[in-house]
Amino acid sequence: MHYWKLLTLPILIAAMLRIPSFAPAQVSIQIGAEPVCPYGYYDFAPYNCAPYGYYGPEWFNGGVFIGAGPWFHGPHDFHGHVDNRFDPHHGYAGPHPERGDKPFNHFRGNEVRDGRGHAMGGHR
């Protein structure tokens, strides 16, 4: 009887280790709908509307923004001009358009970006 008491704990531990205790991993990332902004949106989260003058004309096709960040719809080797003076990462704290505002035209870029959040140089 004394041996049974000594063997009970190791048998219980062995039984617990043999029971599979795994669950399949599932990763789901949802970025939501593409922002609707008159002059495009920044290529970094939270993807706020960019002010007039941030993106150059090559970022638009028939007046429609080709996208940036996770919604970029341009070619793989795309490089387009931006004016980084309107970038919050460069200290811009001025007004931003609201989603759904109407656009107007005039642009002066000083940096080249690839649509995926990478600056390619081209400073003026």
What is the reported pTM? 0.59
| Side-chain-side CA neighbours of residue 43 (13 Å) | 22
User: Which residues are 81's β-sheet partners?
Assistant: 112
pLDDT 10s digits, 27-53 = 666 678 899 898 899 998 889 999 988
pLDDT 10s digits, 77-86 = 898 989 888 8
Q: Please name the residues in contact with 123: beta carbons below 8 A apart, sequence gap of 6 or more.
A: 110, 111
**What are the extents of the domains in the chain?**
41-99+106-124
